[in-house]
């Protein structure tokens, strides 16, 4: 409801949720594990007006290379016990 911005009268949420669908598609490259694209498909029907709303979104990712992020100059080694301890 919030993602589609559908205002509902009190008590109609369960009826809306019966018609609402979200599909999330993730595309990875082969061979390898690079993220190529993410698609989101949402549909829902307003119980009052019977109007169906459909939203399709796509995010595409292109390959690139960047240098590894280095440690800050002032970084100091810390033991996990010192971080999580009291």
Tokens of 33: 């594990």
pLDDT mean over 79-86: 76
State pTM to two decimals. 0.56
pLDDT tens profile 6-38: 677 777 878 878 888 999 999 988 877 788 899
**60/42 Cα distance (integer angstroms):** 18
Matching residue, tokens 């993730």: 26
Across 5-35, b (16+ Cβ under 10 Å) vs e yields: ebeeeeeeeeebeeebeeeeeeeeeeeeeee
Q: What is the pLDDT of residue 5?
A: 65
The closest of 35, 32, 44 to 4, measured between CA atoms, is 44
Q: Give CA 43 to chain center in angstroms.
A: 16
Q: How many residues does the chain have?
A: 86
Q: What is the pLDDT of residue 20?
A: 86
Q: What is the pLDDT of residue 81?
A: 81
């Amino acid at each position: 409801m919030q993602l589609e911005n559908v205002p509902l009268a009190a008590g109609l949420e369960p009826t809306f949720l019966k018609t609402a669908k979200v599909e999330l598609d993730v595309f990875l490259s082969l061979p390898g594990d690079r993220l190529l694209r993410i698609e989101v498909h949402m549909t829902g029907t307003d119980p009052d007006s019977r109007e169906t709303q459909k939203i399709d979104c796509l995010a595409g990712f292109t390959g690139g290379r960047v240098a590894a992020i280095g440690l800050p100059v002032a970084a100091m080694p810390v033991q996990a016990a010192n971080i999580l301890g009291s």
